């Protein structure tokens, strides 16, 4: 039997060749040494390359051994079985796609701002906890979730996570999953938009560059539609060139009389984003969304590759501590709460992201050629995302810690001047002088870097240091704004796409009640549902921007909890399917990450709801401020009674949401447990939800590089094809 054709019988075990034993022992040794250096170095400077080596070594081992084990033993991938891309092929939704191409599409869909922002904020705890979780989390939870959800969806002709929850668990689970997905998306969009607003506020350079992406995208859309249909590469090259021009142009605008026009307050930016989000989601896709998507994908992949090369060339030394005191005390200024559970909540997408389950049960399963490719696309794609997260963590950790806290602590804490910020940072146990703060801002040509929360500006400062060191001195201001542009660009693409997806979900749901809504091109329905979605995230965005306590440290934990709870839903569905299909002995593969994820998120929600500490618990915060309000007092950092009222409202809304998310997941897990117990008691009553086995006629390799046996099979198939067609 050859390697690629695998039937339900267990493959014969062969002794691995000596060469492979030597190579993998070496990889393991490099990884282990790197981990040793990373974990044991204290008090002396450590090169960022050790972090990269530890991560890459671990990924290689995990991909080679654990992912293969899951594919063969747990999922029992069967390449004699045709995938939906083959059986349902219609050359639009369903279409066998080359594994390397599909890897690119899948990665472009899962990679976003989350793994860039989360690790930057988590750097508050030091570089070690973040690194460990990003690597361990992806190996045992994140990549496993992506791969298994992809596999189960593929076996069910590409059903969505919501549909699978409904079929496997029941109506309660299905409805809870649907509500969960929708609310989580709203919070996600608000938090991402908040990151953009914080990065662009009071910066003429950034605002001008980002504003220019709209005419650039419109031009590209028109070019692709009318001038040169389908020429995506040439259009994208023109777009990227214009984009670079817009970044350079931003520098000129900042020094010109136009500067005031593009220097906007956060509130104005919120309004602009809300209007933009609405317009973008009702316009035809070809005009704005599709070209933006090309642009942001090219920029994303390009910048990530650039960052990897930059890290190798610059070989920066980490300035951050391995583990800061905030990890145990839980009183960090960037976000409240101690290491467990908040480092896991904050890192979110880089290690485990519930959102990926939506992609893995969306377009990808309909395009996959061979079942065994779920390993490369699902598991491999997520490893790459984790690598992005590690790079972001490094970028945040090469910055001087004094500057890091001056940028990421809330404005209310840092005060209005460089002197007050310097003193506040000193109060945290770090030091930076007002002159150094002014110099740091001047080096990237921004008016100030104090309280530029949200993660994006910090990442941009770190990246600009790495780039200007790695690619020759100078140009720090350009690289800073390049990095800001890169993040803002694909956050805005996510906002466009997310608003549109939310609108479709809403149209579909309302369509059950009132028929005309279901027609997705019916204009009044389209406007109404778009407006509802935009208003929902716009509300949280506005509340975040004007929050006297600092929006990011209030909203980001909520976003993290939401995303991790979605992962809990996905892992619950996966575990249920494993148990129902008679694989109880393998249920730990998703069961253990589920237990861990549930423990993390439920602890975090519990603390956010019930903690007595007003910086941590939303209701304790509410009580503290409403008591003061009743006495007519103003508690800092609030400055007026209106501020006080706003804190009370925000903490109430946030607290209710945290409780609601937790409740949702408890309901789903409880319902799934009931279903699993029922299935275990009476296995014969369980009906399979898989599509029937159809014999596959396609030949394609499993992994990136075809094995010799696979090459022979492909050559034979090609000969057969030629003969068959005469």
Partner 1 sequence: MSAVLTAVGRAAAGVWWYLREVSGETAYDRYVEHCRRHDAEARVLSRREFERRRQDERDRSPQQRCC
Asked if omega into 341 is within 30° of 0 (cis), the reply is: yes
Of 385 and 643, nearer to partner 1 (C-beta) is: 385
Site for partner 1 in 27-86 (CB under 8 A): none
At its nearest, how many Å lie between partner 1 and the CB of residue 546? 23
Q: What does 563-617 look like in DSSP terms, one character per residue?
A: HHHHHHHHHHHHHHHHHHTT-GGGTHHHHHHHHHHHHHHHHHHHHHHH-S-TTT-
Three-state SS for 97?
Answer: strand
Answer for the pair 15, 4: CB distance below 8 angstroms, yes or no.
no
Binding window for partner 1 (CB under 8 A); candidates: 226-234, 303-311, 320-328, 450-458 = 226-234
Least CB distance from residue 355 to partner 1, whole Å? 5
At 176, is the secondary structure helix, strand, or coil?
helix
Least distance (Å) from partner 1 to the CB of residue 360? 10
How far apart CA 89 and CA 93 sit, in angstroms, is 8
Shortest CB 290 distance to partner 1, Å: 6
Closer by beta carbon to partner 1, 382 or else 450: 382
| Least distance between partner 1 and beta carbon 346 (Å) | 13
Q: Which of 200, 299, 348, 485 binds partner 1 (CB under 8 A)?
A: 348
User: Scanning residues 561 to 600, which ones bind partner 1 (CB under 8 A)?
Assistant: 563
47: helix, strand or coil: strand
Among 236, 372, 386, 572, the residue binding partner 1 under the rule CB under 8 A is 236
Neighbours of 228 (CB within 10 A): 12
Could you tell me the smallest distance in angstroms from the CB atom of residue 133 to partner 1? 17
Q: Which of residues 74, 82, 111, 644 is near partner 1 by CB under 8 A?
A: 111
161 binds partner 1 (CB under 8 A): no
| Other Cβ atoms closer than 10 A to 538 | 22
Four-residue CA torsion sign, 290, 294, 299, 304: positive
Distances in whole angstroms, Cα of residue 202 to Cα of each of 120, 264, 266, 273, 456:
22, 5, 8, 15, 15
Tell me what percent of the chain is helix, strand and coil, each rounded to the nearest 5. 75, 0, 25
For partner 1, the closer of residues 112 and 341 by Cβ is 112
668 binds partner 1 (CB under 8 A): no
What is the C-alpha separation between 353 and 357, in angstroms, rounded? 8
- Residue from the set 98, 416, 419, 435 that interacts with partner 1 by CB under 8 A: 98
Nearest-approach distance from CB 714 to partner 1, in angstroms:
16
Instruction: Report 440-499 residues binding partner 1 (CB under 8 A).
Output: 490, 493-494, 497-498
Contact status: 100 vs partner 1 (CB under 8 A) = yes
Residue closer to partner 1 (CB basis): 380 or 498: 498
362 part of the interface to partner 1, by CB under 8 A: yes
By beta-carbon proximity to partner 1, the closer residue of 293 and 446 is 293
**In the range 499-538, which residues lie near partner 1 by CB under 8 A?**
500-501, 503-504, 520-521
Backbone angles phi, psi at 81, to 5 degrees: -95, 130
- Sign for the CA dihedral angle at 172, 177, 182, 186 comes to positive
Closest of 477, 456, 491 to residue 247, by C-alpha = 477
Cβ contact 568:344 at 8 Å: no
Nearer to partner 1, 57 or 180 (CB): 180
Residue 240 as a binder of partner 1 (CB under 8 A): the answer is no
Stretch that binds partner 1, among 3-11, 88-96, 416-424, 608-616 (CB under 8 A): 88-96
Describe the crossing of helices 588-610 and 641-681 by its angle, rounded to 10 degrees: 150
Applying the rule CB under 8 A, the residues between 275 and 304 that interact with partner 1 are 284-286, 289-290, 293-294
Minimum Å gap between C-beta 353 and partner 1 is: 7
The residue from 12, 229, 472, 524 that contacts partner 1 (CB under 8 A) is 229
Our CB check for partner 1 shows the closer of 49 and 282 to be 282
Q: Contact region for partner 1 (CB under 8 A) — 109-117, 163-171, 304-312, 440-448?
A: 109-117
For residue 193, the minimal CB distance to partner 1 (Å) is 12
- Dihedral sign of CA atoms 490, 496, 497, 499 in order: positive
CA-CA distance, 252 to 126, in Å (whole number)?
A: 38
556: contact with partner 1 by CB under 8 A: no
Least Å distance, CB 232 to partner 1, is 4
**Interface region with partner 1, contact rule CB under 8 A, candidates 313-321, 358-366, 655-663, 683-691:** 358-366
Give the separation between CA 634 and CA 307, rounded to whole angstroms. Answer: 46
Q: What number of chain residues touch partner 1 (CB under 8 A)? A: 52
Among 100-108, 258-266, 470-478, 625-633, the segment contacting partner 1 (CB under 8 A): 100-108
Shortest reach from residue 190's CB to partner 1, in Å: 12
386 forms part of the interface with partner 1 (CB under 8 A): no
430 by DSSP, 3-state: which?
A: coil
State the nearest-atom distance from the C-beta of 293 to partner 1, in Å.
8
**Which stretch in 54-62, 99-107, 260-268, 656-664 sits in contact with partner 1 by CB under 8 A?**
99-107
Is the peptide bond between 584 and the residue preceding it cis, with omega within 30 degrees of 0? no
- Give the DSSP letter of residue 70: I
Residue 29's SS3 state is: helix
Provide, rounded to whole angstroms, the least separation between the CB of residue 208 and partner 1: 24
Burial 138-157 (b: 16+ CB within 10 A, else e): bbbbbbbbbbbbbbbbbbbb
- Least Å distance between CB 386 and partner 1? 14
Q: Residues 342, 109: contact at Cβ < 8 Å?
A: no
Among 150, 192, 311, 558, binds partner 1 (CB under 8 A): 192
Cβ–Cβ under 8 Å, residues 350 and 139:
no
Q: How far is the CB of 172 from partner 1 (least distance, A)?
A: 24
CB of 363 to partner 1, least distance (A): 7
Q: Which of 52, 188, 545, 676 binds partner 1 (CB under 8 A)?
A: 188
Between CA 118 and CA 393 the distance in angstroms is 9
Q: At what angle do helices 48-61 and 380-397 cross, to 10 degrees?
A: 170
* CA distance to 259, 409, 435, 437, 720, per residue, from 447 (Å): 12, 17, 13, 11, 68
User: Alpha helix (H) ranges present in 17-83?
Assistant: 18-40, 48-61, 68-69
The answer to whether residue 112 forms part of the interface with partner 1 (CB under 8 A) is yes
Map tokens 């599709």 to a residue.
Answer: 290
For partner 1, the binding residues (CB under 8 A) are: 91-93, 98, 100-101, 104-105, 109-114, 188, 192, 224-225, 229-233, 236, 284-286, 289-290, 293-294, 348-349, 353, 355-356, 358-359, 362-363, 490, 493-494, 497-498, 500-501, 503-504, 520-521, 563
């Amino acid at each position: 039997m050859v390697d690629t054709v695998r039937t339900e019988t267990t493959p014969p075990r062969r002794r691995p060749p000596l060469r492979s034993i030597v190579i993998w022992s070496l990889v393991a040794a490099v990884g282990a040494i790197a981990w040793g250096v990373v974990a044991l170095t204290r008090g002396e400077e450590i090169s960022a390359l050790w972090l990269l080596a530890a991560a890459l070594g671990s990924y290689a081992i995990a991909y080679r051994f654990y992912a293969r084990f899951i594919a063969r033993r747990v999922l029992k991938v069967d390449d004699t079985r045709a995938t939906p891309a083959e059986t349902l092929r219609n050359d639009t939704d369903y279409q066998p796609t080359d594994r390397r191409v599909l890897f690119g599409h899948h990665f472009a869909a899962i990679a976003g701002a989350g793994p860039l922002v989360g690790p930057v904020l988590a750097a508050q705890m030091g570089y070690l906890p973040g690194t460990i979780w990003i690597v361990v989390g992806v190996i045992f939870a994140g990549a496993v979730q992506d791969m298994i959800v992809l596999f189960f969806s593929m076996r069910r002709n590409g059903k969505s996570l919501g549909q699978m929850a409904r079929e496997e668990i029941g109506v309660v689970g299905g409805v809870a999953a649907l509500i969960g997905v929708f609310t989580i998306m709203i919070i996600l969009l608000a938090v991402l938009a908040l990151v953009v607003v914080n990065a662009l506020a009071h910066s003429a350079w950034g605002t001008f560059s980002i504003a220019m992406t709209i005419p650039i995208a419109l031009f590209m859309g028109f070019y692709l539609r009318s001038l040169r249909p389908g020429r995506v590469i040439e259009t994208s090259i023109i777009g990227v060139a214009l984009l670079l021009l817009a970044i350079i142009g931003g520098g000129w605008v900042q020094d010109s009389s136009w500067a005031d026009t593009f220097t906007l307050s956060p509130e104005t930016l919120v309004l602009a984003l809300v209007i933009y989000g609405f317009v973008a989601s009702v316009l035809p896709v070809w005009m704005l969304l599709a070209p933006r998507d090309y642009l942001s994908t090219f920029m994303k992949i390009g910048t990530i590759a650039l960052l990897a090369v930059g890290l190798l060339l610059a070989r920066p030394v980490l300035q951050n501590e391995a583990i800061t005191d905030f990890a145990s005390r839980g009183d960090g200024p960037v976000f409240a709460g101690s290491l467990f559970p908040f480092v896991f909540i904050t890192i979110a997408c880089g290690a485990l992201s519930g959102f990926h389950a939506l992609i893995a049960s969306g377009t990808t399963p309909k395009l996959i050629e061979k079942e065994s490719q779920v390993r490369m696309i699902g598991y491999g794609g997520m490893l790459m995302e984790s690598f992005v997260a590690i790079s972001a963590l490094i970028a945040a950790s090469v910055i001087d810690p004094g500057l890091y806290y001056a940028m990421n602590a809330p404005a209310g804490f840092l005060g209005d001047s460089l002197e007050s910020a310097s003193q506040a940072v000193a109060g945290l146990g770090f030091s930076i002088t007002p002159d150094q703060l002014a110099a740091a801002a001047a080096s990237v040509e921004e008016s100030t870097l104090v309280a530029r929360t949200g993660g994006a500006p910090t990442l941009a400062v770190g990246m600009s240091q790495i780039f200007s060191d790695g690619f020759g001195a100078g140009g720090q201001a350009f690289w800073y704004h390049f990095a800001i542009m890169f993040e803002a660009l694909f956050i805005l693409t996510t906002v466009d796409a997310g608003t549109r997806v939310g609108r479709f979900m809403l149209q579909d749901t309302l369509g059950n009640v009132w028929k005309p809504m279901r027609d997705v091109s019916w204009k009044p329905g389209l406007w109404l549902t778009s407006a509802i979605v935009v208003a929902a995230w716009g509300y949280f965005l506005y509340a975040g921007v004007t929050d006297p306590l600092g929006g990011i440290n209030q909203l980001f934990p909520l976003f993290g909890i939401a995303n991790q709870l979605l992962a809990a839903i996905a892992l619950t569905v996966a575990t249920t399917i494993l148990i129902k299909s008679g694989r109880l002995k393998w249920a730990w593969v998703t069961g253990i990450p589920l237990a861990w994820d549930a423990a993390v998120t439920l602890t975090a929600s519990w603390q956010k709801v019930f903690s007595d500490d007003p910086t941590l618990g939303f209701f304790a915060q509410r009580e503290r401020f409403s008591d003061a309000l009743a006495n007519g007092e103003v508690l800092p950092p609030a400055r007026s009674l209106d501020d006080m009222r706003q804190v009370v409202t925000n903490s109430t809304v946030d607290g209710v949401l945290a409780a609601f998310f937790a409740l949702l997941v408890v309901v789903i897990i409880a319902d799934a447990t009931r279903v699993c117990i029922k299935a275990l008691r009476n296995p014969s009553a369980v009906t399979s939800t898989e599509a029937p086995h159809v014999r596959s006629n396609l030949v394609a390799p499993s992994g990136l590089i075809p094995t010799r046996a696979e090459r022979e099979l492909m050559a034979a198939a090609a000969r057969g094809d030629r003969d068959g067609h005469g």
